[in-house]
Amino acid sequence: MKLDTRAMRYLASEDWRVLTAVEMGSKNHELVPTPLIEKIARLKGGASGVHKSISALAKVGLIARVKEAKYDGYRLTYGGLDYLALHTHSARKDIYSVGTRIGVGKESDIMIVADNQGTQKVLKIHRLGRISFRTVKSNRDYLKNRASGSWMYLSRLAAMKEFAFMKALLAEGFPVPEPIAQSRHTILMALIDAFPLRQISAVPDPAKLYGELISLILRLAKHGLIHGDFNEFNILIKEIKMTTESGEETLTLEPVIIDFPQMVSMEHQNAEMYFDRDVECIKRFFSRRFHFTSTEPGPFFKDAKRAMKKAGLTRLDATVEASGFTKKMVKDLEAAIREKEAMKADGNNSDEEEEESDEDEDDEEDPSDNGGEIIIGVANEVDDLDAELASKSTENEV
Ligand code: ADP
Ligand code: MG
C-alpha cells in the first residue's frame, strides 16, 4: 500500500465530511450503511450531496463498497484513513507537503513531509493488522470478524503506543527523534539526518559504539523497558564532524533509537527472552560487520533487573497504561505484533504478506516517489468537524 496524495486537493469540504462520517461509522460497524453515513454527515445538500461525495470518495479509493448478504455498505480503506490523518496534520499546520517515501516496512510506511516553513519531518504510517490473508487463509474470517484484529484499531494502537513512549523517552533524555504529533495510525516526528547502522560499513571505534549501545539497553532497563527490536535497522547513527583548534577533523558517532511499538516491560512474563534477544542482536551484528566481540559476557537480565530496582528511577513501562491504554489494548496490540513476528520468522516471503485487496498495490515508480513534492490541501475546519462528530459518536447506531 502506497500513500498517494494526489487526489487530496480535489476533495471538497463535503467530501471530507462524508469521509469522516464513514470513519465514525466504522467504530461500531464493519460495513457502514449509506443511511448511517447520511445521518452522521448531515450535509446541507441532504442525501443527494452525500451520494455525490460517496461516489467521489469511492472513485479515488478512499472508501470501498462492500456487498454483503444483509446490506450493502462502505468501509474506509487504508487510503481513506491516511487522508484523514494527513488532513488533521495539515489543519494543525504540522504538515504542508508530502515528499519522498524513505522506508517501507511490513508494519509501516515512512514518508518525508514538510511544514509550510519548509522544515522536513518524518511521518510514520502504521500498517499493523495487515495480516497475511493469503498465507493464513483459515484465519481470514476469524480475523475479519474480530474487532481486536481490525487493521484500523491495531494500527492506531501502535501509533498511540509509539508516540507515548517517544514522549516519555525524550523527557528522560534518551536519544530518540522528537515526537511532534499523532493522528489516528500516524505519528509525526523530527527527521534525523543519519543512516541506520545497517548501512554503515566501518566505524573508527567499534568497541566504543558497542559499549554505548549496550549502555542504552541497560539504561532502558533501569526505566523498566526493553526495546524488543533493538537491531541495526532501528538504530540510526548520527555522524558529528568537528574540527579541533589544531585543524584536525574528528568524527563522533551518536546513536538515535527508533521504532517502539513492540516495547515491553521488564516485568513482562517473557522479559528475559526479549532482553537477551536485544543484546544478542547487537553482539551478532558487531561480530559480523565489524569483527568485534566484547571480552565481557552479558549483560544479563538478572543484573539489569536488580539495577532497575536499586536505581528507583521513573518507571516508563507504566507510561503507556497511564496514557489511556487499557490492559485489553496492550494485549491486542501485543498479539498482533507477535503474530507478525512469527509470520516474518517462518515465511520471510514478502510477496505473500501483502494485503488481499482492491486498493493495493502498484509499486511502479511515480513522481511522488522521487522527491516530487505534493502539496496537500489545508482545511482548518477539519478539527472542528472531528470534534463535532466525536461528540456524536454515541448516536451512531441505526
Ligand atoms: P518499521 O516499524 O517499519 O521498522 P521504523 O520506525 O523502524 O519502521 O522506520 C523504518 C526506517 O525509516 C528506519 O530504518 C529508518 O531508516 C527510517 N526512519 C524512521 N524514522 C526516522 C526518522 N525520524 N528520521 C530518519 N529516518 C527515519
Ligand atoms: Mg524498524
Instruction: Please report the DSSP string for 91-145 in residue order.
Output: HTTS-SEEEEEEEE-SSEEEEEEE-TT--EEEEEEE-TT---TTTTGGGHHHHHT
Output the pLDDT for position 312: 94
Q: Which candidate, 23, 129, 122, 29, places its Cα nearest to that of 79? A: 23
- DSSP reduced 3-state for 383: helix
Map grid coordinates 490492559 to a residue: 327
Q: What percent of the chain has pLDDT over 70?
A: 82
Closest CA to 123 of 164, 89, 166: 89
Q: Cα separation of 271 and 108, whole Å?
A: 25
Q: How many CB atoms lie within 10 A of CB 336?
A: 26
User: What residues does ligand 1 touch, defined as CB less than 6 Å away?
Assistant: 102-103, 105, 107-108, 110, 122, 124, 177, 189, 191-192, 196, 233-234, 258-259
**What mean pLDDT, rounded, does the chain reach?**
84
For the CA atoms of 44, 48, 51, 55, what is the dihedral angle to 10 degrees?
-110
Judge whether residue 258 has pLDDT over 70: yes
User: How far from the centroid of its chain's Cα atoms is residue 254's Cα?
Assistant: 24
The atom number, within ligand 1, closest to the CA of 105 reads 3
Q: Which three cell numbers stand for residue 295?
A: 571480552
pLDDT in tens, 56-109: 999 999 999 988 777 789 999 989 999 999 999 999 999 999 999 997 777 899
pLDDT digits (tens, 9 = 90+) for 29-58: 888 999 999 999 988 878 889 999 999 999
Question: Domain limits of the chain?
Answer: 8-191+349-395, 195-323
Q: Which atom, in ligand 1's list, is nearest to the CA of 192?
A: 24
Tens digits of residue pLDDT in 163-214: 999 999 999 999 999 999 999 999 999 999 999 999 999 999 999 999 999 9
| Residues around ligand 2, an ion, CB closer than 5 A | 233-234, 259
pLDDT digits (tens, 9 = 90+) for 233-245: 999 999 998 898 9
For the cut 50, the answer to whether the pLDDT of residue 370 exceeds it is: no
| pLDDT of amino acid 98 | 93
- Closest residue by Cα to residue 22 from 92, 81, 71: 81
pLDDT for 372: 64
Q: How confident is the model at residue 363 (pLDDT cuts 50, 70, 90)?
A: very low
What is d(CA 80, CA 63) in angstroms, rounded to the nearest whole number?
A: 6
What is the pLDDT, as a whole number, of residue 322? Answer: 79
| Fold of the 8-191+349-395 domain | Phosphorylase Kinase; domain 1 (3.30.200)
Is the alpha carbon torsion for 376, 160, 130, 341 positive or negative?
positive
Domain 195-323: CATH superfamily, name plus number: Transferase(Phosphotransferase) domain 1 (1.10.510.10)
